[in-house]
Chain A
Amino acid sequence: MARLMTWEGLLALLFLATFAGNVVLAPEFLTLQNQINLFQLSIEKIIVALVMTLIIINAEIDLSVASVMGLSACTFGYLVTGGFPAAGAIVVCLAVGLVAGMINALLIARAGIPSLVVTLAMLIGFRGFARVLVKDQSMGDFPLWVTHLGQDALLGPLPLSLVLFLVFLAGLGILLHRTGFGRQIVVIGTNAEVARFSGLNVARVKTVLFLMSGFIAALAGLLYAARLGSVRGDAGTGFELDIITMVLLGGVSIFGGKGSMTGVVLSILIILNLRNGMALTNITGHIQTGVIGVLLIASVLIPNLTNDLRVRRAKA
């Protein structure tokens, strides 16, 4: 019983409810193809959400991820259209992601500017770069192997992006909950001053996190380009909000120090199932977005309300 009363327990119940609802309402829901589609449509966001989890637990935020995705995708389109070999272009794009992450890291971890400000500026800056690169065009004509990797099954029924998601999920989950580095992320997120007075290298941990974020966002941008087969300057615009929603609904505290990978995965499953279920029953995208918004508000309200109740009961 106590187990179910945790945030993860509530999320698990909510997931089962949406899943059951979908099964009942939409007969085609349980097909393997629909299950894979359900992930595939948001795969870039959910990959980036995994790194965002670490960053928010560290009491920082990275608003620039969607712009880094866009910049990476556009760089790829620009290079390939210009005759650059696609394999080389992939390496360049990943490097662009690392550079973007390094710029964020230097300004946040070394210069000490709040990440909210830095990454908001970079959200605008990197997006501007992307638009300058591709202007108003749509750039496509990628080599077949690229679109094949982006769209078709690679491992059994699973496409590359889903394989990557599962690998990152396991890797980052272990990193966060089982390694010394993960412990440092949590402690710094709880109280950076305590971490500093305990001899932890706070700047280094933050630098690594923003490098990871830049790299994975760039990778997600490539997956996005490969899946759609073409890119435009507005690729991925606004994704950062969906990504942060997934993390916060997963029970990660916006103030840092608290959160688990399990919670975030459950939150991702809930959001995907809700959207998919509503799409299958012909509910429009606007309403879908509204429902997710209500869910997010509830996710922040419910723990606060239960806390209040507990305090009041303790007083009485």
Chain B
Amino acid sequence: MSVLDLRHVSKSFAATAALKDMDLSIEPGEIHAIVGENGAGKSTLIKIMTGVHQPDQGQIFVAGVAVTIRSTQEAQSHGIAAIYQEPMVFPDLDVAENIFISNRAQGAFMNWKQIYAQAADLIAQLGVTLDVHRAASGLTLAEQQTVEIARALSLNVKVLIMDEPTASLSAHEVARLLSIARALKAKGVAVIYISHRLDEIFQVADRVTVIRDGQHISTKPIAQVTPDGMVKDMVGRAIDTFAVKSAANPHGDSVLRLEGLGRSGVFSGITFDLSAGEVLCFAGLVGARRTDVALALFGISPATEGRILIDGQAVTITSPQQAMSHKIAYVSEDRRKMGLALSLPIFANISLASLGKLLGAFGLIDRKAEAAMAEGYRKQLAIKSPHVGVEVGKLSGGNQQKVMLAKWLETKPRILIFDEPTRGVDVGAKAEVHNIIRALAQEGVAVLVISSDLPEVMALADRVLVMREGRQAGILDIAEATQEKVIRLAAGSAHGQVAA
């Protein structure tokens, strides 16, 4: 009998359907991989299984019994637990204390001898060595994960969900984690293994489920799956949902050239030429360090090796002010943290990066000019708001994105970097943002777009630079690029079958 069953589960957020009629059946003692593109619904699925979200429709069965899971505590009581890319441990406690942090079956007083013995036993069951007296603050990420897994084991876990557990691990640590997964399997624990790395899945999984656009596409034993077939299932959606861009792009002189750009310990060896009017997209998996390249170009966390050339001249960029003096603009991915002052009105946000232009005598702001400038963008970009005095926090995601865009357009950039320009905006606003990006390229702006949305990359790019684990995995001309090729480069499978 299945240990965990999801039947016809659906979940929507506002107007967006995250999961549609999802079926999933997990057997005891199997390692079950779940794969899908970014945004396919994997996170929502995990959150439903762990009680963070409740399904709108459908039913969850644990060992054949229908259950409702309203919190992570309830999920734990059903034997369902999850570990994530970033483990959660208490740095000031030691390994054993962390393992038994939520286990209150110890009576009023702690029997420390017993706790340390049991902790050591749990660690041993995982087939690894780790001193249970060590403070958690000194543990590596991989060791912290081990602690979390041991904690789940102490709570009699029956289904352990691992969400991108290897995204920040070294090759050696990955091998160790995979052996832990096998040890759990041998004990009869079901492991749900979620990863972008296809080679790991072929090494460890018994069965693979592919999901796409919130729907269940296929579940097959690993022996019946080929990497190419899996990738096709993952990206299978019709690509023509996006209008094909105009073929003729004005390719002028090189505006921006990177030569072996790197930041020690973060990324290295990024080399490309970008011309006026060209759109270069950065593709790659979450954690491929694409944003770090943008942050280096914009001077937030400067490069430590290689060269940046603008119009053929080598330049140093160590602050946003310097980047802006070279007419570089960076439209960040996180509007709330880095993009917009939400409690301030639209006009103050739009003028923020180019205040200097609006200053008159004694540094006074020309408020009429400021309002007129903001009003111009409100009309041009169709920002839905009665006037430009409205607080930005009251606008919808798509309109906030447009305000942020207006802020950078007002700096009249020559090199414009977009970081996930359509994350969290609805379909309509997405198309508008795409049109704006294309129009900017037509006007001769050199555009860099970081995007995890492959159809978006295919629709916007003249060339695609694929990054993997901080390195440049390749540059594809759009004529030769396919979603399959991009995914293969991004996942960088060492697995022989994957290389076509």
> Which residues of A are in contact with B by a Cβ distance under 8 Å?
174, 178-181, 183-184, 186-187, 190-191, 193-201, 257-258
Contact = CB atoms under 8 A, between A and B. Distances in A.
A194 B341 contact: yes
- The 10 A-B residue pairs with the shortest CB-CB distance, nearest first, are A190-B341, A179-B363, A197-B338, A199-B320, A198-B353, A199-B324, A198-B352, A180-B355, A180-B359, A180-B363
Contact of B365 (A178, A195, A197): A178
B342 to A, nearest CB: 8
Given A197-B330, A201-B321, A187 B363 contact: no
Which of B330, B351, B352, B367 neighbours the largest number of chain A CB atoms within 10 Å of its CB?
Answer: B352
B409 to A, nearest CB: 13
B337 interface: yes
A113 to B, nearest CB: 21
B395 interface: no
Given A193-B337, A194-B341, A199-B321, 9 more contacts: A179-B365, A183-B351, A184-B355, A186-B348, A187-B341, A194-B340, A198-B407, A199-B353, A201-B321
A161 to B, nearest CB: 25
B343 A181 contact: no
B50 interface: no
A185 to B, nearest CB: 12
A179 B363 CA distance: 5
Nearest to A201: B321
Interface of B: 298, 300, 320-321, 323-324, 330, 332, 337-344, 348, 351-353, 355-356, 358-359, 362-365, 367, 407
A107 to B, nearest CB: 21
A186 B342 CA distance: 12
- Looking at chain A's contact residues, is the secondary structure mostly helix, strand, loop, or mixed? helix
Contacts of A174: 364
A197 B300 contact: yes
A195 B324 CA distance: 13
24 contacts: A178-B364, A178-B367, A179-B359, A179-B362, A183-B348, A186-B348, A194-B337, A194-B338, A194-B341, A194-B352, A195-B341, A195-B352, A196-B320, A197-B332, A197-B338, A197-B339, A198-B407, A199-B321, A199-B324, A199-B353, A201-B321, A257-B341, A257-B344, A258-B343
| Chain B residues touching A, majority SS | helix
Nearest to A186: B344
A244 B323 CA distance: 39
Given A186-B344, A199-B324, A199-B353, A180 B358 contact: yes
B174 to A, nearest CB: 33
A225 B337 CA distance: 46
A179 B370 CA distance: 12
Nearest to B357: A180
A184 B330 CA distance: 19
Contacts of A193: 337-338
A181 B363 contact: yes
Nearest to B341: A190
Contacts of A195: 341, 352
Contacts of A257: 341, 343-344
Contacts of A200: 352
A199 B321 CA distance: 5
A167 B364 CA distance: 17
B365 A187 contact: no
Contacts of A180: 355-356, 358-359, 363-365
A258 B343 CA distance: 9
- Most interface-central of A180, A193, A199, A201 (chain B CB within 10 A): A199
Contacts of A179: 359, 362-365
B364 A191 contact: no
Contact of B348 (A178, A187, A199, A258): A187
A298 B138 CA distance: 46
Contacts of A190: 341-344
Contacts of B348: 183, 186-187
A117 to B, nearest CB: 21
Contact of B355 (A183, A191, A197): A183
Contacts of B407: 198
A184 to B, nearest CB: 7
A183 B320 contact: no
A83 B118 CA distance: 78
Nearest to B338: A197
Nearest to B325: A199
Contacts of B330: 197
A195 B321 CA distance: 11
Nearest to A191: B341
Contacts of B353: 198-199
A201 B338 CA distance: 15
A180 B341 CA distance: 16
B126 to A, nearest CB: 39
B338 A183 contact: no
A290 B367 CA distance: 43
Given A180-B358, A197-B320, A199-B324, A187 B344 contact: yes
A297 to B, nearest CB: 24
A256 B256 CA distance: 39
B293 to A, nearest CB: 16
A175 B358 CA distance: 15
Nearest to A179: B363
Contacts of A183: 348, 351-352, 355, 365
Contacts of A201: 321
Contacts of B341: 187, 190-191, 194-195, 257
A81 to B, nearest CB: 41
Contacts of A198: 320, 352-353, 407
